[in-house]
Amino acid sequence: MKTFIALIATSALLLLSGCNTWSGVKQDAKEVGTTAGKGIEKAGEKIRDISK
C-alpha cells in the first residue's frame, strides 16, 4: 500500500512539474504578497494622517 501511495505521489509531482501550474501558483503568491504589502502601507498612511 505504501508503494502505491508513493507511486501516486510521484506521478502527481511529475505531472505538476511538467506544466505551468506551479509557475502560476508562484506568480499568484507573489501578487498576493505585493497586494498585502500595499494594503499595509495604505493603512499605515491613514493612521499617520489621523494622528496628525
- In one-letter notation, the amino acid at residue 45 is E
CB 22 within 8 A of CB 16: yes
Q: How far is CA 48 from CA 31, 42, 43, in A?
A: 26, 10, 9
Q: What is the pLDDT along the chain (52 residues), one digit of tens a residue?
A: 778 788 888 877 776 666 666 677 778 788 888 888 888 898 989 888 888 7
Whole-number pLDDT of residue 17: 63
Is the sign of the CA dihedral 27, 30, 36, 40 positive or negative? Answer: negative
Whole-number pLDDT of residue 16: 65
DSSP letters for 14-34: HHHHTSSHHHHHHHHHHHHHH
* pTM (global) more than 0.85: no
Whole-number pLDDT of residue 20: 64
